[in-house]
A = this chain, B = another copy of it.
Amino acid sequence: MPSPHTEHLYPVILAGGVGSRLWPRSRRRTPKQFLDLAGTGRTMLQEAYDRMTPLVPPDRIYVVTGREYVPTVTAQLPALPTANIIGEPVARGSAAAIGLAAIHLQARDPDAVMAVLTADHLIAEAETLRRILVGAAELAQQGKLITLGIKPTFPETGYGYIEMGEELGCFNGMPARRVRSFREKPDRQTAEAFLRNGNYAWNSGMFIWRVDTILAALATHMPALHAALQALAPALHTAAEADAFRRHWFPLDGTVTIDYGVMERATDVAVFPADLGWNDIGSWAALLEVLPKDDHGNVVQARHFHLDSRNVLVFSRDRLIATIGLQDMVIVDTGDVILVMPVGRAQEVKQLLDALKAAGLEGYLE
């Protein structure tokens, strides 16, 4: 898919998440994005990388992650130049992670267009994603901040929504619209109204913009972060880097997301409505929903032997999981932990982890 607009396109894969609701598979040492959750033989990070290689050469793909995960990224993406792995000494939120990538790219290519992508979401329609990115790279030349909006399929209350306004035309055959407003996670009734209305999309956490555009937006809306990045920039890849991070990065307020810090305040924001077969796999329930099922409606990532079990997710590396009469259940065996719960309680894994920590059993989170 050669295009003049992809020559300066740099996919930046954010891979710093923790994915705690997919415990006990997702652990501190190997969070969700480093796991082959779908059983495809490739981890989610590898899938995110694979989606970009038809579009750009490996040396234009960047990964931002926690410094402790740099060896994992290196091992999982051997073709990626090590200079393209940006290790944060500590996480300081998505705005800071994006800003850090931006100053890396700015030093390399003043005309860089960055595509901020996620490593922990499932995207079935990779070809559509690439087509949109090429279109967005074209639109980005107008100095717009661009987001990808996912067509909502049910009134989810756990996501932010994008209210879409007037059409801006088609780019690489993909239609874009102006963003009228960003909406925080709505209540059920509001979410249902959004769905009926048809002009709302889920906020996917994927963005495209010129590097100079986003840095200018940071200067306007997050001046402290912008100043820190300006101070950091000359120290990157030098002996002064560690000290610069200590002085400018560690004190940053890490709670500010790019959505809240920039997108909601900016005026010239566009959205590509994207039908990507997207799923954030936010929980075991989501995995059970999206992964291919066997003849009995079960997601089987184990040796599973059962009588009359339906809509069950089973995972184990080496044990036989035998079930009788189960329905809508999740069973995950990681060798040291066996988690069993009804799929309807999958959101409560987070509370379970909090309780484990409180009980001094933090070792099971590592």
Measured CA separation A356–B303 after assembly (Å):
12
Q: Which residues of B lie under 8 Å from residue A361 when comparing CB positions?
A: 305, 320
Do the beta carbons of A305 and B355 come within 8 Å of each other? yes
A window 322-366: CB within 8 A of B? 322-326, 329, 331, 333, 335-342, 344-345, 348-349, 351-352, 355-356, 359, 361, 364
Q: Which residues of B lie under 8 Å from residue A352 when comparing CB positions?
A: 305-307, 322, 324
A152 is an interface residue with CB less than 8 A from chain B: no
Q: Which residues of B lie under 8 Å from residue A344 when comparing CB positions?
A: 325
Measured CA separation A43–B195 after assembly (Å):
61
Q: How large is the interface on A (under 10, 10 to 19, 20 to 34, 35 or more residues)?
A: 35 or more
Main secondary structure of the interface of A (DSSP, over half): strand
Looking at the assembled complex, report how far the CB atom of A333 sits from the nearest CB atom of chain B, in whole angstroms. 6
* Residue among B326, B342, B345, B349 making CB contact with A341, cutoff 8 Å: B326
Q: What residue of chain B has the Cβ atom nearest to residue A341's Cβ?
A: B324
Copies in the complex: 2
Do the beta carbons of A320 and B351 come within 8 Å of each other? no
Q: Which residues of B lie under 8 Å from residue A348 when comparing CB positions?
A: 307, 324-325
Q: What residue of chain B has the Cβ atom nearest to residue A306's Cβ?
A: B352
Given contacts A324-B340, A331-B340, 12 further A-B contacts (CB under 8 A): A307-B352, A320-B338, A321-B337, A322-B338, A322-B339, A322-B340, A322-B352, A322-B356, A322-B364, A323-B339, A325-B344, A325-B348
Per-residue interface assignment for chain A, residues 291 to 313, with 1 indicating a CB less than 8 Å from any chain B CB and 0 otherwise: 00000000000000111000000
List the 7 closest A-B pairs by CB distance, nearest first.
A324-B341, A325-B345, A324-B345, A322-B339, A320-B337, A321-B338, A323-B340
Measured CA separation A337–B305 after assembly (Å):
10
* Residue among B307, B326, B356 making CB contact with A305, cutoff 8 Å: B356
List 15 A-B residue pairs with CB atoms under 8 Å apart, sorted by A's residue number. A24-B322, A305-B359, A307-B345, A307-B351, A307-B355, A319-B337, A319-B338, A320-B364, A321-B337, A322-B338, A324-B339, A326-B340, A333-B333, A333-B338, A340-B340
* Residue among B326, B338, B359 making CB contact with A316, cutoff 8 Å: B338
Measured CA separation A320–B340 after assembly (Å):
11
Once A348-B307, A351-B307, A352-B305 are accepted as A-B contacts, the answer to whether A331 and B325 lie under 8 Å apart by CB is: no
Looking at the assembled complex, report how far the CB atom of A337 sits from the nearest CB atom of chain B, in whole angstroms. 5
* Most chain B CB neighbours (cut-off 10 Å) among A338, A348, A351: A338
Q: Which residues of B lie under 8 Å from residue A364 when comparing CB positions?
A: 320, 322
Measured CA separation A324–B320 after assembly (Å):
22
Do the beta carbons of A322 and B337 come within 8 Å of each other? yes
Measured CA separation A24–B24 after assembly (Å):
24
Looking at the assembled complex, report how far the CB atom of A285 sits from the nearest CB atom of chain B, in whole angstroms. 12
Looking at the assembled complex, report how far the CB atom of A241 sits from the nearest CB atom of chain B, in whole angstroms. 40
Q: What residue of chain B has the Cβ atom nearest to residue A332's Cβ?
A: B322
Looking at the assembled complex, report how far the CB atom of A95 sits from the nearest CB atom of chain B, in whole angstroms. 34
Measured CA separation A305–B341 after assembly (Å):
12
Measured CA separation A137–B333 after assembly (Å):
53
Do the beta carbons of B341 and A325 come within 8 Å of each other? yes
Measured CA separation A305–B356 after assembly (Å):
8
Per-residue interface assignment for chain A, residues 116 to 144, with 1 indicating a CB less than 8 Å from any chain B CB and 0 otherwise: 00000000000000000000000000000
Measured CA separation A7–B114 after assembly (Å):
94
A window 77-133: CB within 8 A of B? none
Measured CA separation A161–B160 after assembly (Å):
66
* Residue among B321, B335, B345, B359 making CB contact with A340, cutoff 8 Å: B321
